[in-house]
Amino acid sequence: MSEIDITLTLNGEEVRARAEPRMLASDFLRDRLRCTGTHVGCEHGVCGACTIRLDGVTARACLLFAAQLDGARVDTVEGLGTVRNLHPIQEAFRRHHALQCGFCTPGFLMTVAEILETHPLRTDEEIRDALSGNLCRCTGYEHIVRAVRDLVDARDGVTA
Amino acid sequence: MKPAAFEYVRPTTLAEALAALDHDDAKLLAGGQSLVPMMNFRLVQPERIVDINHVAELRGIVEDGDAVRIGALTRHAEAARDPLLARMLPVVAEAMANVAHVAIRNRGTIGGSLCHADPSAEWPLLTVLLDASIDIASAAGRRSEPGDGFFIAPLVTALEDGEIVVAVRVPRPAPGTGMAFLEVAQRAGDFAAAAAGATVRLDGDRIVEARLALGGVADAPMRLAAIEAALAGADRRDIADAVADAAADLEPNDDMHASADYRRRLIPVLARRALERAAERSSTLAMVK
Ligand SMILES: Cc1cc2nc3c(=O)[nH]c(=O)nc-3n(C[C@H](O)[C@H](O)[C@H](O)COP(=O)(O)OP(=O)(O)OC[C@H]3O[C@@H](n4cnc5c(N)ncnc54)[C@H](O)[C@@H]3O)c2cc1C
Ligand code: FES
Ligand code: FES
C-alpha cells in the first residue's frame, strides 16, 4: 500500500513525513521522525512504554496508526526537558531514584504529566492506581510513587 | 508485531462512514484499544479501515426525553467525568474506574466496547443492567436493538454487516434508585474475573424494585430475573438469602483470569454486595429528599 503525507504538530513544532497508513504511531515517531524517546515494549497496549499525548491526553502510540496522527497535536518525552535542563517531573524521578534501566521511564513521565493535571492523587493508593497502566520491571514502583508524591505535594502547596 | 497493509479512510459524517463501510472487508476503527491489538497480532487483517474518530454525529451525552443518549464515540474517560451521567447514572463512573488504565480510558469508546462484546467488559454489563437500547444506522436506515438481545457470544453481537452503532439510550431510572457496580480482577485494570451491577429502589426497608446483572460468568452479561422477582416486595435484609444460590444454574468458564470454581464462589458474594450497596444508596437518597 502506498505511503501518504502526514502533517502533525510534534512537541509544538509542525513536522511532515510520509508513511504507510498501517505503520504504528510508535514506529513512525521513532523511525521516521527520529524521536526515539517513545519506547516499544509489547505492541498490544499492556506495558505503557509507548505512552504519548495525543491532542492533550495520554494514549498508547502502539495502538494508533501513523495515519491517525495527521492533523493531530502530539507530545512525546522529548518535549519535557533536556539532559541539562530537566523537567520538574524528570528531576523528581532523578532525585528519588525512580528509574534503573530507564526503559519504562518515558511512558511513566508522560502518564505522570497528565495525572498531575487531572487526578487528585490524595493517597499513595490513588497514585498506584493511576500508574497501573505502566509496567516497570526494575524498580518495584516504590521510588516512582515517592517521586510522584513529591510532585503532588509541590502541586498542592504541601510542605513536608 | 505489525499489522497487515490496509486502505485508510477518514470520514467526517455518518453518511460518509456508511458509504466507506460498503466494502467486502472493511472495519470501523473507534478507540482502537481492542481492534489494533488484534491487528498487531494479525488475528484480523481488514483491507479497509474506516476511522470514525472524526464523525461528530457519534459524539455527545445528552438528555433525550426520558432517556440519556450516549454517543457511540464517547470515551470511557469522558463518561467517567460527565456531569449529566454523574447525576442520573452514577454507576457509570463507578464502573469506568475498573476499565483498563488512564491512557486506554482516554481512547476506548462505549461503541467499540459494546461491539467488541467481551463477556467481562463493563459497558455491556451496564447496558444490560440499565435496560438500555442501542441505536444502529445502516445504508437502509435506522433501527434500535434492546441491550439484552445485542450480546450473543464473546466477540459476537446482533450487529449486521454495514451497520454502525450510533448511540446508546439509557432510560432515566425512577427517583430514589440506588445503584452499584463492583468486580474482582487479578490486577487493577485487568478484565474482571466476575462483575456485578445492581439497582435497588426502597420504600422504607421494603424493596420496590431490584435489578441484578452479572458479567464474566457466561458468554454474555446476564440479568438474574428469578432473583429480581424474589426481591420485589422483600425486605432489604433478605438480600443475602435471595442471592445465596445465585451461581446454582450458571456454568462459568475456566480461564486465565479465574477458575470456574472460584467464579462460582465470587458470584453470590459480588451479587450480595452490589445489591446491599445499591439498597444503602437508595435509603440515603430517600433521606436527602
Ligand atoms: C491493556 C488493556 C486492558 C483493557 N482492559 C479492559 C477492561 O478491563 N474492561 C473493558 O471493558 N475493556 C478493556 N479494554 C478494552 C477497551 O475498553 C476498548 O476500548 C474496548 O473494548 C473497545 O473500544 P474501542 O473504542 O477501543 O474499539 P475498537 O478497538 O476501535 O473497535 C472494537 C470493535 O468494535 C467495532 N466498532 C467500534 N466502534 C463501532 C461502532 N460505533 N459501530 C460498530 N462497530 C464498531 C470495531 O470495528 C471493532 O471490531 C482493555 C484494553 C487494553 C489494551
Ligand atoms: S508498547 Fe505500547 S503499551 Fe506496550
Ligand atoms: S526502570 Fe527498568 S523497567 Fe522501569
Rounded to the nearest angstrom, the distance between the alpha carbon of A135 and the centre of ligand 3 is: 8
Chain A residues inside the 8 Å CB shell of B5: 1, 20, 22
> Looking at residue B289, what is its pLDDT?
63
Please name the residue ranges forming H helices in B151-259: 225-231, 239-243
Distance B262 CA to ligand 1 centre (A): 27
3-state DSSP call for residue A97? coil
Bridge partners, A51 (sequence order): A60
Does residue A159 carry a pLDDT above 90? Answer: no
pLDDT above 70 for A91: yes
Tell me how far apart the alpha carbons of residues B104 and B93 are, in angstroms, rounded to a whole number.
15
pLDDT > 70 fraction of chain A, expressed in percent and rounded = 99
Q: Please list, residue by residue across B208-222, b when 16 or more beta carbons sit within 10 angstroms of its beta carbon and e when fewer do.
A: bbbbbbbbbbbebbb
User: Residue B188: is it exposed, middle or buried by C-beta count within 10 angstroms (0-12/13-18/19+)?
Assistant: middle
User: Is A4 close to B8, i.e. CB distance below 8 A?
Assistant: yes
What is the β-pairing status of strands B48-51 and B26-29?
A: parallel
Task: Look up residue B110 and give its three cell numbers.
Answer: 462505549
Contacts of B154 (CB under 8 A, 6+ apart): B117, B118, B119, B219, B220
What one-character DSSP code corresponds to residue B228?
Answer: H
Domain boundary assignment for chain A: 4-79, 88-156
List of residues 6+ apart from A56 with CB closer than 8 A = A73
Question: Which residue's alpha carbon is nearest to atom 43 within ligand 1?
Answer: B164
Neighbouring-strand partners of residue B64: B67
Kind and range of the H or E element at B38? Answer: helix B35-40
Phi-psi map region of B189: left, alpha, beta (phi>0 left; psi -120 to 50 alpha): left
Position B257 scores a pLDDT of 86
* Set of cell numbers at residue B171: 432510560
Residue A17: what are its φ and ψ, rounded to 5°? -155, 170
Cβ of B106 within 8 Å of Cβ of A1? The answer is no
pLDDT in single tens digits along all 289 residues of chain B: 899 999 999 999 999 999 999 999 999 999 999 999 999 999 999 999 999 999 999 999 999 999 999 999 999 999 999 999 999 999 999 999 999 999 999 999 999 999 999 999 999 999 999 999 999 999 999 999 999 899 999 999 999 999 999 999 999 999 999 999 999 999 888 999 999 999 999 999 999 999 999 999 999 999 999 999 999 999 999 999 999 999 998 999 898 889 999 999 999 999 999 999 999 999 999 887 6
Which CATH topology does A88-156 take? DNA polymerase; domain 1 (1.10.150)
Average pLDDT over residues A128-142: 97
What are the extents of the domains in chain B? 7-51, 56-171, 177-284
State how far the Cα of B132 lies from the Cα of B201, in Å rounded to an integer.
18
Which candidate, B113, B105, B61, B123, places its Cα nearest to that of B87? B61
Q: What are phi and psi of B14, to 5 degrees?
A: -60, -40
Bridge partners, residue B67, by sequence? B64, B171
Q: Tell me whether residues A22 and B36 touch, CB distance under 8 A.
A: no
pLDDT one-digit tens code per residue, B52-92: 999 999 999 999 999 999 999 999 999 999 999 999 999 99
For position A160, what pLDDT does the model report? 62
| CATH topology classification for B56-171 | 3.30.465
Using DSSP's 3-state secondary structure scheme, residue B153 falls into strand
A27, A58, A129: residue with CB nearest B106: A58
In chain B, whose CA is at the least distance from the CA of A40?
B1
At A37 the three-state DSSP class reads coil
Q: Are B28 and B50 in contact (CB under 8 A)?
A: yes
CATH topology of domain A4-79: Ubiquitin-like (UB roll) (3.10.20)
CATH of domain B177-284: 3.30.390.50
- Asked if residues B263 and B218 have their Cβ atoms less than 8 Å apart, the reply is no
Q: How far apart are CA A45 and CA A61, in angstroms?
A: 9
Testing ligand 1's pocket by substitution, the residue of B105, B113, B182 carrying the most ligand atoms inside 8 A of its CB is B113
pLDDT for the residue A158: 87
CATH number of B7-51: 3.30.43.10
